[in-house]
Amino acid sequence: MCGIVGYIGFRNASDFLLDGLHRLEYRGYDSAGIAVFHKGEVAVRKRAGRVCELDRLIETDGVEGTVGIGHTRWATHGETTDVNSHPHVGGNGEVVLVHNGVVENHNSLRTQLQTLGYVFRTTTDTEVIAHLIAHHLEKRIETDGEICTHEACVEVVETAMRKIEGTYGVAVLFRDCPDLIVAARAGSPLVVGIGRGEYFVASDAGPLVGYTEEVVYLADHEIVALTSESIDLLHRDAGKKSPSIQVLDQVAGDTSLGDFEHYMLKEIYEQPQSIENAMRGRFDESEATAMFGGLNLDPQQLRRVDRVVLTACGTSWHAGLVGEYLLEEFARLPTEVEYASELRYRNPPLTDNTMVFAITQSGETADTLAAMRECKRKGHPTLAICNVVGSSIAREADGGIYLHAGPEIGVASTKAFTSQVTVLTLLALYLGRMRHLSYPAGRRMIDQLREMPDKLRKALTCHDAVREVAAKYHGFNNFLYLGRLYNFPVALEGALKMKEISYIHAEGYPAAEMKHGPIALVEEKTPSIFVIPRGGIYPKVMSNLEEVRARCGPVIAIACEGDDTVADLADDVIFVPDVEEYLQPLVTSIPLQLLAYHVALLRDCNVDRPRNLAKSVTVE
């Protein structure tokens, strides 16, 4: 992985490719390159490092042409070097391709191809695909005595892809067919943009915004052949298909920075609006409940559900933990939260009445997609909570709920987390009213949820206080994050944000678990961040705070406004609005996001594109 772009039409392909690669930078990468038909040959330009390094290379050694492909690489096999960067060349230059995914059987294929005389110039798994396609093309031409044709190119890509074990999204150029791009996917997303006299290819819709309003999302094992005037789609097993054209519902302004210095800060400040969008049109006032249009399960089916499994990765998994508390408290449904990377390989005893929700921002997370498919294969109602319309998980789930949070560009998720928590709260209300939750309780929840956008705007006023705390503690290299009940997942999420963008070791724990091991870490240079708003077990968490103070550990508290008791005990305190316990994650997460952001800035880290991370993890 990480990002693919492609163009065929009448424009200078390099301009679109470079623009697209810049738009894909948020996904995380370590090198970039393009290949363009230029003066009768496929010219490849690539560099390790940022896309700006590629920009400079092309300024001095440019390529012009109307057909090309590009790639940002996040290394899985082989070091980060110029030669390992994509695009890769197959055979004697007759094939050039870019690839997202992992070729699990690359070692055996490499050995076979080397025996046939193919010379490998890189240590990547991708070069195997390039040589494999070139090999089948050579065999096809030798057997049929034909020159390279469009039909032959599509067939050799299909033949080669059948031999690949693992995941792939590929875009391929053929030296002897300069008016053709062939693209294929299995487990790694690709979208085709449709223009007039031009077509586009990308890993997600971002690079297509402003160029086209019509797209085709490729499904697994689909192959598309593009010329400047045509699109031909076929499925590996089902043959030719008619493309399903959809309207791209994203506008260019969605991905602009506006007045913000970084996408992460912009997205933190978008949270009042994003949770409002998550709630819009989803309240049924007369029935004191929530309503969803896409669950695709009738009330009778939902009432038969006796267990819920939430599966996710990373930040979405933390949102799922909040969802577990919500669904058990308000819907009285036993709920489990599973790491998707574990669930896909386990065989848990799920009953016929178990409902599975896959939680994901991108809708392309490989482990979450695989876990969802496994549960679906076994006949369980499998739904999605997802942000990206047209994503693989959104399309393959039996039904689901969109977040409507808008594009999230920063690698460290912020507004997706609070939107997921908001949707899970609505889901708890909806299922609760089907079971045990009273009408007055449902009305109270609706009223309290309606207040939350303003509560988040008020929570954001802590920004200056957070900045001061960051300035005081940014030189420390270990942090403990502590919370209980609804704020335990917030502690985990706060620690993850600190790790992701500031490269500081941080761990989240239930505050009461301190005495069972982590308290051994407490000392003067290990700050403890207590998420301690008012609530039923406030006195218990206060006791844990005192235990840390007794051992000379610095204490930073996230507390309800006006809480003088905490202010007297903590070394530093950041205040948030006082809300109901089940809604506290929405406000307490904001200062932790801001703290990670400012600590990262002070440590001179790239907050939007942290090292080694990808926005959408599309490989295992």
> b or e along 604-614 (b: 16 or more beta carbons within 10 Å of the residue's beta carbon)?
ebebbbbeebb
Spatial contact of 494 and 459, defined as CB atoms under 8 Å apart: no
- Which member of 415, 455, 499, 615 is catalytic? 615
- H or E element at residue 431: helix 415-434
153 classed as catalytic: no
How big is the chain by its Cα radius of gyration, in Å? 26
Report d(CA 218, CA 100) in Å as an integer: 14
- H or E element at residue 289: strand 289-290
177 classed as catalytic: no
Give the closest residue to 486 by CA, choosing from 359, 590, 584, 557.
584
Which amino acid is present at 491? A
Query: What torsion, rounded to 10 degrees, do the Cα atoms 446, 449, 450, 452 define?
Result: 170
Report d(CA 161, CA 166) in Å as an integer: 10
Q: 183: which strand partners? A: 171, 224
Report d(CA 112, CA 599) in Å as an integer: 50
CA atoms within 13 A on the CB side of 227: 11
Exposure of 429 by Cβ count < 10 A (0-12 exposed, 13-18 middle, 19+ buried)? buried
- H or E element at residue 178: strand 177-186
Parallel, antiparallel, or unpaired for β 354-360 and 382-386? parallel
Token readout for 340 is: 């998707």
Token readout for 15 is: 């301009």
Give the closest residue to 188 by CA, choosing from 225, 233, 158, 218.
218
Number of H helices, E strands in the chain: 19, 27
Q: Output the CA–CA distances (angstroms, integers) from residue 109 to 132, 162, 293, in the order listed.
A: 8, 12, 47
Query: CA 482, 487, 492, 498 torsion: positive or negative?
Result: negative
Cα 446 to chain centroid distance, Å, stands at 29
- H or E element at residue 60: helix 51-60
Give the closest residue to 506 by CA, choosing from 492, 490, 516.
492
- Which member of 2, 177, 375, 462 is catalytic? 2
Report d(CA 535, CA 11) in Å as an integer: 61
List, by residue number, the catalytic residues.
Answer: 2, 615
